[in-house]
Structure 1
């Protein structure tokens, strides 16, 4: 996959082996910004060593067709992630979407552009029919990203994920990629 341009001079590209230190730095820099929206993280999560092994796992999953791990980058600096995971083939042709954007770029259209581009990759390069995503009920900014990227709300998933140490309800969204 070739890198795709995003607003503010950023690019969306495939995760690489040498991204561990930039990703650890991005999570450390955005720790306060991301804490309300993510699972509880151990201190080791914020190290380059932890991300080295995680990147190896994610790239193996990509090679086997189970996921698409992407980064939002400004040169060598990572300023966000977008992932398609749990790719299911057969009659379903579906995946789950996850994403986050550096606090400095939040509210500037970067998340929407990255989610739109990822949906297009899912349709055009991966042949997916559908992508789903969930947001915490009170995460209005993330909901706006999904709606602006042509996702539609499809319901409430009670106690869907353990976020910030609590099982929390999520609003579920989907985007159908083929008519």
Structure 2
């Protein structure tokens, strides 16, 4: 079993470890990161910056953790889901991003926990629309979005810079009513 919760400052070391373990696995889908990205100090500062956006209601960062079997020390961060770029007032929109530990891929972990974040977004935050973008060759991510009720709405050339190169992305969305 797995648990989903908002990240806290105490998770900086777990985040650093997660990024170290999965650096090569996540590389094809990630921007270029600074050399100290997978360090506790960098992740702690990144969390501090996140808390400002969280307090303004603009971003929510969740961690997916293994359940403790005997003690809390056995809990491990194995995935992240971010609800970012939340816009209120007339738009009520947010963008989703997610990643999973290589050891837990293709087990339905992201799909199940993304469903929880979708519920949080629509029911608890009152959002009307969620968006996600993926690179066209990311079949696993496409399956996750489709299982979670997202539909492809477009294609954006040179959308995000991944590993120093501007990459095309497919755009997906889901409305609260669906």
TM-score, shorter chain, exceeding 0.5: yes
Moved over 3 A (4+): none
Counting matched residue pairs gives: 171
SS of the residue 2:37 aligns to: helix
Query: Structure 1: where are the runs of 5+ without partners?
Result: 1-8
Residue aligned with 1:90, SS = coil
1:127-151 Cα shifts (integer Å, max 9, x gaps)? 0000000001110110110000110
Partner in structure 2 of residue 44 of structure 1: 36
Separation of aligned partners in 1, 2:64 and 2:51: 16
Normalising by structure 1, report the TM-score.
0.93
Counting only pairs closer than 5 Å after superposition, residues 111-122 of structure 1 correspond to structure 2 as: 111-122=110-121
Q: CA deviation at 1:178?
A: 2.5
With normalisation by structure 2, the TM-score equals 0.93
Distance in 2 between the 1:39 and 1:117 partners? Answer: 26
| Cα pair 1:38 1:163 within 8 Å, conserved | yes
User: 2:54 & 2:124 partners in 1: Cα distance?
Assistant: 13
Q: Any conservation in 2 of the 1:15–1:59 contact (CA below 8 Å)?
A: no
2:25 to 33, 36, 57: 33
RMSD in angstroms over aligned alpha carbons?
0.9
